[in-house]
Structure 1
């Protein structure tokens, strides 16, 4: 019995279904089912009860979870130590970010780094989910929110400035917003509530409390598109909004907000030469773009 077998059972027990375990393990549901069945046959004991509602751990399986957690922690620690060996500027780097930050800011930085170091394979994962750096789902992450995982090193690497934007056609129809009246008679698009309360949404609510919200979206790309079509006003990063000919930035009585960008890396990996080189390069590039990210 080895960890490669047991990790399938542990993933099912922890995530509650074959499909969820498959997503975490980076494989398919039939593969997880096959590996689980094979493990149960070899040990001669059922680890899960199969029912109409899915899989539920047997008492034996539930009693093994703590031990399996320690085994996974140990295996991950070994993987990080191996990954942290001094291999010079070669090998893979996985970087994660989200939404427009990944596409518009981190992607050019990663591409330039890859061009300078042809033996380093940079992978950029731009997805809404939060990758777990402790589990080696990614090496480096760029986020707006704080990092919750243990054993991570994080630092603020940039500030993103925002502004209020609308299309000229929208302003021709509705006129300039009256901020003293809370922008009554105007429409806005903003963040969907599950995304939390980012600074631009809080600021937009305070700036235009009487405006009607016509769309809530989880991504800024859709808000940008809605504003460009003339449907509503939107609070957008100035890096995106200022360069759009179809948008006009509106002067507001409340100072426009800024949002810090944080970078995180596992403590075991921060001194790996290729990781260290990417971090230093990214920080230097972000400093040179500071005026674009947070203009006066």
Structure 2
């Protein structure tokens, strides 16, 4: 969209102003370049040219990033409104699309995408040759309003406006250790935990409950590794050097791993599908959501098995 902003000696379009917004949002040329799929030198040249064009310095460049000037700060709220309006127009046009063809971008994270979501999407795509699905496994919370993705599978809920949610499952976690670990250090249990080592999941809002539960059970255990990946936790547990809080779906059938009954109720996390309200009726998106919801009916007992 090349909307002209003013007439005069210089003319600005939305892409020039969007550059300012993206730079302010990311705080550095390198991060902004990655988000726009370009290079840092290219963005630097574009910024220099735009500052010359508009006659104002918009950013102070420091070793740790970019600092918006007063002139820049004075227009940022307007740019946010412009972006919201432009995105609303894009979503309205997209909502008019008909038929089961086109691309759907799905975002989820880590093990969930690899072992649960990917098979569902592959089955759907196999039956709908006109639809291409892009799956992004990333811990970042993609913005559905900005169309960073069309559909998101997340633990917990959504804090963005105009998101329609479906809770599809509860995912149960538990304390897991290898047989070798238990043979050397004993069974982890409530009480003296100084002999034990744990792998901890890097904290995020929906993951705090997992770390809190583990610390309540083994308050004096040594944290030998922190990671943002469930798969990394699983590998460390399989190596026999630590215990960790892992999803039953991923760990219960692993040869040599045991679920340790601690006597405490294991944590569960709600799994939710989200889509922007403007996009939910696009046929290919609606069809995929309906298919995923139906697939999770058969997965619920594996994602949240009953306690023995």
2-side partners of 1:165 and 1:64: how far apart? 52
2-side partners of 1:39 and 1:15: how far apart? 18
Q: Does 1:139 align with 2:150?
A: yes
SS at match of 1:154: strand
- State the shift of 1:212 in Å: 2.8
RMSD of aligned alpha carbons: 2.0
SS at match of 2:174: strand
- State the shift of 1:152 in Å: 0.9
Structure 1: gaps spanning 5 or more residues: none
SS at match of 1:13: helix
- State the shift of 1:192 in Å: 2.4
Q: State how many pairs are aligned.
A: 294
Determine the structure 1 residue equivalent to 2:47.
36
Call closer, same or farther: CA 1:79–1:252 in 2, change over 3 Å: same
- State the shift of 1:190 in Å: 1.8
Paired residues for 1:143-222 under 5 Å: 143-179=154-190, 181-193=191-203, 197-222=207-232
Determine the structure 2 residue equivalent to 1:118.
129
Call closer, same or farther: CA 1:13–1:214 in 2, change over 3 Å: closer
Are 1:12 and 1:18, in contact at CA under 8 Å, matched by a contact in 2?
yes
Equivalent of 2:87, from 52, 63, 76?
Answer: 76
Equivalent of 1:99, from 83, 91, 110?
Answer: 110
Equivalent of 2:37, from 10, 14, 26?
Answer: 26
2-side partners of 1:221 and 1:174: how far apart? 23
Q: TM-score, normalised by structure 1?
A: 0.91
Equivalent of 2:287, from 267, 277, 292?
Answer: 277
Structure 2: gaps spanning 5 or more residues: 1-11
Paired residues for 1:222-237 under 5 Å: 222-237=232-247
2-side partners of 1:66 and 1:263: how far apart? 30
Are 1:227 and 1:234, in contact at CA under 8 Å, matched by a contact in 2?
yes
1-side partners of 2:234 and 2:43: how far apart? 41
Are 1:182 and 1:207, in contact at CA under 8 Å, matched by a contact in 2?
no
1-side partners of 2:71 and 2:212: how far apart? 49
- State the shift of 1:11 in Å: 1.6
Determine the structure 2 residue equivalent to 1:108.
119
Q: Which moved more, 1:13-22 or 1:97-106?
A: 13-22
Q: Which moved more, 1:280-289 or 1:194-203?
A: 194-203
